[in-house]
Structure 1
Amino acid sequence: MKTFIPVHTIDYQPAGQFEETRFEKIHNVIFEDAKQGAIQVAHEMADLIRKKSNQGKTCVLGLATGSSPIRVYEELVRLHREEGLSFKHVVTFNLDEYHPMEKSNIQSYHYFMHQHLFDHVDIDPSNVHIPDGTIASEDVKAYCRSYEQSIEAAGGLDFQLLGIGRTGHIGFNEPGSHFNSATRDITLDHITRVDAAPAFKGLENVPRKAITMGIGTIRKAKRIVLMAWGQNKAEVIKGTIEGAMSPEVPATYLQEHENTTFVLDRESAAHLTRIDTPWLVGDCKWTGELTHKALVWLSLQKEKPILQLTDKDYNDSGMSDLLSMEQSSYEINIKAFNRLQHTITGWPGGKPSADDTHRPERAVPACKRVIIFSPHPDDDVISMGGTFDRLVAQGHEVHVVYQTSGNIAVADHEALKVAEVAQSMGESNMFEQIIQDIGQKTTEDYDSSLVRKLKGTIRRAESIGATRYMGIPDDQVHFLDLPFYETGTIKKNPLGPEDIAIMNQIIETIKPHQIYAAGDLADPHGTHRVCLEALFASLEELKKKPFMKACWVWLYRGAWHEWDIHEIEMAVPMSPEQVLRKRKAIFYHQTQKDGVMFQGEDLREFWVRAEDRNKDTALKYQKLGLASYAAMEAFVKYDF
């Protein structure tokens, strides 16, 4: 049952007080969520600013851009406005900037820093230093030398704030960067450009080069704090903290810095050995959850079904203390096997007139009211199309609720095609205006309100096509268009009371027995995370309502990751026929099928990703010694 409590938490403390495990080479602290971690970082920076000011000294900060530090800057602005934190004696040097890049461009880091920090505090503009993306190519080397000299003239960096890219880059020091590299121009890695593509409305618009502080420059800072948030960073964080120092992962060079701390949330820390497999680090407190996780891991590691694991397997894998707590390995094995077996059900809404003692869902009521929340207008069928199909076939009243319009994910050529067809049939001048708006749009422009309306309507039509195919009446399909999303830009507004009120209204109207929602925090848009936060906030407000006592919440994951096997609390098998039905339902979302705008580095189409993921889940169950199925969809129960 998912409660979203951190797996492990360490108090925020100076690096010198950290006792490293034999795996970890960099001090790190883990917070329940990014907000808590960011606030702590902001307060450390604020304390340093005040301390230096009280000593009559300038505080020199190295600053980062990207999504990771935004909440740090929000808290620094709050401290300035509400608690009098002054930046009058602060000098800043930013890590990097795209090249070429105009300062006025909304994708420039000059624009970013003023938008999020400098325009809201009392810093002297002459104390702000950001690499200049307008420097002519022939002048870049001389400019970079002068940037280094400016840092040295300011007394060096007192504090350097960092994020980390999936390539392991810090600043824009991509794989291959030298240990002692200085400020310079650099060619961006393909993965870095892919990650930036959504903000630039396509990979082809992302600059290929940048100016960045070097590894050597960063390492001269007296204090370094690197932040990483989210599942997408888990792999590179493990490699950086536990791996060998290597130019292929430039962030590993921080292993030799004497005062570096990585500030992580629980998702980005999930692959660290002491979190993921703590029995390899030392003695464990063997809870039921940890034991189950360990058994699944051991079975897959040894490539043996759970019921065939032996005492030797336990002893050879650092689990002898677990073995000593039980009568035999078989006793532990059978408990894990039974638990996995009890997650499998062909009745996601509960099996009527059946003993539900060991079933994931209740038998009563036999016909349930169900809400499937879908952040974008295709997540429902991509993530749980097979379960969706079973719920309808088994007679439940299924409502599909699309939380956002998804309009920014419709390419211009798709909207243009629809507008031109409508215009050719003699429809209103509105379509002529839409064609004109699209034709005049530049790479830096946002869609006009008319274009956004058309794109949103296209996605609605696709959604209705898919839900009709799945057997849902149109009046059981709901489009919320949550306000946080409807900005017309990639950047969204913070979740607000109006969003929560809309969520409350749909839940109170339907009074569901089951809610399915996207728990996929690896979504590169961030929309899934905000939609999940909206649901959690709504559940908190509604939980005392009488109808909520009968409501269970199940979390699915989207196109990027699946729940780990040990986390799964309901696994719904799919027949080969259902796999094909799910595929066809996804195909109704034609604008998201070929050349999708926010595909990430995975070039497979969404239906392929979903099928491969579902088949992999079924295969893992089979390897653990359970029955063999064509595919399986997985869910975790959320306790609110």
Structure 2
Amino acid sequence: MKSALAIKPDISYKSAGKFEETRFEKIHNEIFKNSIEASVVVAQEIAHLIKSKQEKNKPCVLGLATGSSPIKVYEELVRMHKEDGLSFKNVISFNLDEYYPMTKENNQSYHYFMHQHLFNHIDIKPENINIPDGTVAIENLNQYCTDYEIKIINAGGIDFQLLGIGRTGHVGFNEPGSHINSGTRIITLDHITRVDASSDFNGIDNVPKRAITMGVSTILKSKRIVLMAWGQNKAEIIKRTIQGEISSEIPATFLQNHSNATFVLDQSAASELTRFKTPWLVGECIWTEELKRKAIVWLCQETKQSILKLTDRDYNNNGMSDLLALEGCAYDLNINMFNVLQHTITGWPGGKHNTDDSNRPERAIPAKKRIILFSPHPDDDVISMGGTFSKLIKQGHDVHVVYQTSGNIAVTDDEALKFAEVCNDFVGNNESKINIQEVIDFLNNKIENEIDSLEVRKLKGIIRRRESYAASRYIGLKEENIHFLDMPFYETGQIKKNPLGPEDIAIIQAVIAKIKPHQVFAAGDLADPHGTHEVCLNAIFAAMKQLKPESYMNDCWLWLYRGAWHEWDIHEIDMAVPLSPDEVLLKRHAILYHQSQKDRVMFQGNDSREFWVRAEDRNKHTAKLYDDLGLAEYEAIEAFKRFDY
């Protein structure tokens, strides 16, 4: 792990080896295994700065950001305050932005966010906290923004500016078109920014159209800037920002002009940078089997040829001459890679009995496997692997589907009210397990940002549960093999969830220990808008690690599927399960049993398509990629990656 000060750029950054590796890049950046490690390092640098200022009896002026990116930094700063005695009494803070109009009490306000995640837990002086005020009258805003700038100057300027980045390339709320000389001002939010925020506001119609933001010029005057980005969703804009030309269309590119700026990234956010995406275009590579797969698949796509048609010239003209020299000739390379990819394809995801399995992705033995299909939400099972789910059942395996969360947050109030009214008309309050009239009254009188009552959450959970029963029955699963965990971390009644706790992990352990599976399928897609997939996957990792000494775990393989947002790249796929046209239709119908998620998806991220359409398009696209590589042509393919836990 890098030390706290090691992320600062210095002259060694452009030493011979490092410069060759990063010659496409125009901003210093550091890549970490995950956001937790990276956030700790950033927090350490901030803490070091605060202490050094304290030693000199000087204030430390911090520019602070909101959003998901800095949360773990704030958690670490709070920990250092409580456990290590880090004091914030000399800190003066200036936040980047705030929605407009927006009251401080609104739980979507950045005032609320900062106090919830940081200020309520440290000893910063209240008078030293500065957050743009979303309640200032419109006619007074120009003067207010000018005063905000003057206040920063009078404090001595920002010593350390923490930033995130939006998909439009905005920093703060400096949307595309923002000028390099812009100061603090009111701005109209880009549609993409509002779409990305829509899940926090229960729909885009509730997202404010304007915001107050520090300007690009204000940010660039900071003495030190650290921009953080996590996850695959940020990979493309990070590449354009770090490797592209400076342009007001991507305001973050203005940071290329700053002499002391560092981008701190996790591996997913850095994945589109040239040195990671296509390192053979940068310099010599160490040609692992995984990198060979990646490079040859890329070469086929670049030249629009199938694997067996690639020539020596294709390799030489696209930065792979050293690979060609290592392997001898294109013919041998092509045949070997064709066979590797061919062997990932199987119509027997649980293994095929009485068959040589040396070149198959799954074992032949035991013939009938016990299988757990973990589903973070009540519809991820059929969305992500509905066809494979069906095959496993039809091929005689003992399949158990385990829904990790209730999914109640994703049911709209209108949908819940509809079910409540139907239930009330049908059975009446006296026979219902839920006080239906209480639910109806609550929903009819619910005020903005009010947390659902326990009764409402129960109803919304039941809606998702019954949809899951219906979909699983349609797939062919026995009802006794359907399990609902209702993991405690999720049950907050809010979009923001609790951290993963020991009780969550223990629940996962118990179901694994009971079933003793030969196969576990789990969601490996970490790009869902609110991180539920990541928490659910971490719970599975933790549970399986603790259970590893158990003898039955020696025969347990973990397969990861992707959710509704991204698919595995071809070179990452270890098992490709083809679907027939009939199986594609079966999967579609299973997804449509989740009626509460149809038409008005609450947390769809940046893709406006319904989940069944996304899933179908994605599976057909994967099949098309295999076809383009010269392999068999299928209607659709579901993809999986084996993970060694």
Match of 1:3 in 2: none
Aligned pairs, how many? 634
Match of 2:401 in 1: 400
In 1: Cα distance, 2:611 partner to 2:124 partner = 46
Q: What are the within-5 Å matches in structure 2 for residues 102-181 of structure 1?
A: 102-181=103-182
Root-mean-square deviation over aligned CA pairs: 1.4
Q: What are the within-5 Å matches in structure 2 for residues 38-57 of structure 1?
A: 38-57=39-58
* Counterpart check, 1:24 vs 2:22: no
In 1: Cα distance, 2:509 partner to 2:470 partner = 27
Counterpart amino acid of residue 505 in structure 1: A
Alignment partner of 2:134: what SS? coil
* Counterpart check, 1:611 vs 2:616: yes
Alpha-carbon distance, 1:9 to partner: 13
* Counterpart check, 1:385 vs 2:390: no
Q: What are the within-5 Å matches in structure 2 for residues 165-314 of structure 1?
A: 165-314=166-315
Q: Is the 2:4–2:42 Cα contact (8 Å) retained in structure 1?
A: no
Q: What are the within-5 Å matches in structure 2 for residues 392-431 of structure 1?
A: 392-428=393-429, 430-431=435-436
Alignment partner of 1:596: what SS? coil
Alpha-carbon distance, 1:327 to partner: 1.4
Counterpart amino acid of residue 581 in structure 2: P
In 2: Cα distance, 1:589 partner to 1:162 partner = 38
Alignment partner of 2:535: what SS? helix
Alpha-carbon distance, 1:191 to partner: 1.1
In 2: Cα distance, 1:30 partner to 1:12 partner = 12
Q: Is the 1:9–1:29 Cα contact (8 Å) retained in structure 2?
A: no
Match of 1:339 in 2: 340
Q: What are the within-5 Å matches in structure 2 for residues 466-615 of structure 1?
A: 466-615=471-620
Counterpart amino acid of residue 27 in structure 1: H
Gaps of 5+ in 1: 1-5
Counterpart amino acid of residue 18 in structure 1: Y
* Counterpart check, 1:638 vs 2:632: no
Counterpart amino acid of residue 537 in structure 1: A
Alpha-carbon distance, 1:345 to partner: 0.2
In 2: Cα distance, 1:441 partner to 1:261 partner = 45
Q: Is the 1:10–1:30 Cα contact (8 Å) retained in structure 2?
A: no
In 2: Cα distance, 1:409 partner to 1:66 partner = 20
Alpha-carbon distance, 1:423 to partner: 1.2
CA deviation map 1:103-147 (0-9, x unaligned) = 111111111111111111111111111111110011111000000
In 2: Cα distance, 1:128 partner to 1:446 partner = 28
Alignment partner of 1:300: what SS? helix
CA deviation map 1:495-548 (0-9, x unaligned) = 000000000000000000000000001111210010000000001100110000
* Counterpart check, 1:13 vs 2:7: yes
In 1: Cα distance, 2:83 partner to 2:451 partner = 34
Alignment partner of 1:343: what SS? coil
* Counterpart check, 1:464 vs 2:458: no
Counterpart amino acid of residue 614 in structure 1: N
In 2: Cα distance, 1:449 partner to 1:579 partner = 38
* Counterpart check, 1:370 vs 2:375: no
Match of 2:451 in 1: 446
In 2: Cα distance, 1:450 partner to 1:612 partner = 38
Gaps of 5+ in 2: none
Q: Is the 2:529–2:604 Cα contact (8 Å) retained in structure 1?
A: no
In 2: Cα distance, 1:206 partner to 1:165 partner = 16
In 1: Cα distance, 2:166 partner to 2:585 partner = 37
In 2: Cα distance, 1:506 partner to 1:11 partner = 44
Return 60-69 or 596-605, whichever deviates more. 596-605
Alignment partner of 1:484: what SS? helix
Alpha-carbon distance, 1:466 to partner: 0.6
Alignment partner of 2:459: what SS? helix
Alignment partner of 1:198: what SS? coil
TM-score of the superposition, structure 2-length normalised? Answer: 0.97
Alpha-carbon distance, 1:601 to partner: 2.7
Aligned-residue identity in percent: 65
In 2: Cα distance, 1:510 partner to 1:121 partner = 46
In 1: Cα distance, 2:96 partner to 2:336 partner = 52
* Aligned CA distance change for structure 1 residues 151 and 10 (closer, same or farther; 3 Å): closer
Alpha-carbon distance, 1:84 to partner: 1.5
Counterpart amino acid of residue 378 in structure 1: D
In 1: Cα distance, 2:209 partner to 2:479 partner = 46
Match of 2:89 in 1: 88
Q: Is the 1:401–1:477 Cα contact (8 Å) retained in structure 2?
A: yes
Return 418-427 or 550-559, whichever deviates more. 418-427
Return 219-228 or 48-57, whichever deviates more. 48-57
Alignment partner of 2:488: what SS? coil
In 2: Cα distance, 1:638 partner to 1:182 partner = 48
Alpha-carbon distance, 1:600 to partner: 2.3
Alignment partner of 1:200: what SS? coil
Alignment partner of 1:234: what SS? helix
Match of 2:68 in 1: 67
Alpha-carbon distance, 1:88 to partner: 1.1
In 1: Cα distance, 2:7 partner to 2:564 partner = 37
Alignment partner of 2:399: what SS? strand
Alignment partner of 1:15: what SS? coil
Return 284-293 or 527-536, whichever deviates more. 284-293
In 1: Cα distance, 2:306 partner to 2:542 partner = 41
Return 595-604 or 46-55, whichever deviates more. 595-604
Alignment partner of 2:483: what SS? strand
Alpha-carbon distance, 1:492 to partner: 0.2
Counterpart amino acid of residue 482 in structure 2: V
In 2: Cα distance, 1:94 partner to 1:541 partner = 42
Q: Is the 1:11–1:29 Cα contact (8 Å) retained in structure 2?
A: no
Q: Is the 1:245–1:255 Cα contact (8 Å) retained in structure 2?
A: yes
Q: Is the 1:202–1:597 Cα contact (8 Å) retained in structure 2?
A: yes
Counterpart amino acid of residue 600 in structure 1: G
Match of 2:321 in 1: 320
CA deviation map 1:358-411 (0-9, x unaligned) = 000000000001100000000000000010111011000110000000001111
Alignment partner of 1:92: what SS? strand
In 2: Cα distance, 1:9 partner to 1:357 partner = 45
TM-score of the superposition, structure 1-length normalised? Answer: 0.98
Counterpart amino acid of residue 73 in structure 2: V
Q: Is the 1:9–1:31 Cα contact (8 Å) retained in structure 2?
A: no
Q: Is the 1:61–1:160 Cα contact (8 Å) retained in structure 2?
A: yes
Q: Is the 2:99–2:208 Cα contact (8 Å) retained in structure 1?
A: yes
CA deviation map 1:74-95 (0-9, x unaligned) = 1111111111111111111100
Alpha-carbon distance, 1:13 to partner: 2.9
CA deviation map 1:549-578 (0-9, x unaligned) = 010010000111100000000000000010
